[in-house]
Amino acid sequence: MEIEKKMTIAAPREKVWAMLLDPNVMGACVPGMESIDVISDTEYLVSIHVKMSFISARFKVRTFVVETRRPEYLKSEGKGEDSSLTSSLKHTSEVFLTELGPNETEFRTIVNVELLGRLGSFGMNMVKTKADRMWDDFGRKLAERITGEIQPEPATTNKTPSTAEDESTSEDQTGAGGADKGSLMSRMRSVFGSSS
Predicted confidence (pLDDT) per residue in 129-181, tens digit: 888 889 899 988 988 887 775 443 333 333 334 344 444 444 444 444 444 44
Predicted confidence (pLDDT) per residue in 37-56, tens digit: 999 999 999 999 888 777 78
Question: Do 107 and 160 share a structural domain?
Answer: no
DSSP string, 145-179: HHHT-PPPPHHHHTHHHHHHHHHHHHHHHHHHHHH
Predicted confidence (pLDDT) per residue in 98-124, tens digit: 999 999 999 999 999 888 887 777 767
Question: Do 111 and 16 share a structural domain?
Answer: yes
Quote the number of domains for the chain: 2
Question: Do 87 and 111 share a structural domain?
Answer: yes
Question: Do 171 and 81 share a structural domain?
Answer: no
Instruction: Give me the domain span that covers residue 68.
Output: 2-147
Phi-psi region of 187 (alpha: psi -120 to 50; beta: other; left: phi over 0): alpha
Which CATH number covers residue 29? 3.30.530.20
Question: Do 135 and 72 share a structural domain?
Answer: yes
Say what the pLDDT of residue 123 is.
Answer: 66
11: CB partners within 8 A, 6+ apart: 103, 104, 105, 146, 147
Question: Do 184 and 93 share a structural domain?
Answer: no
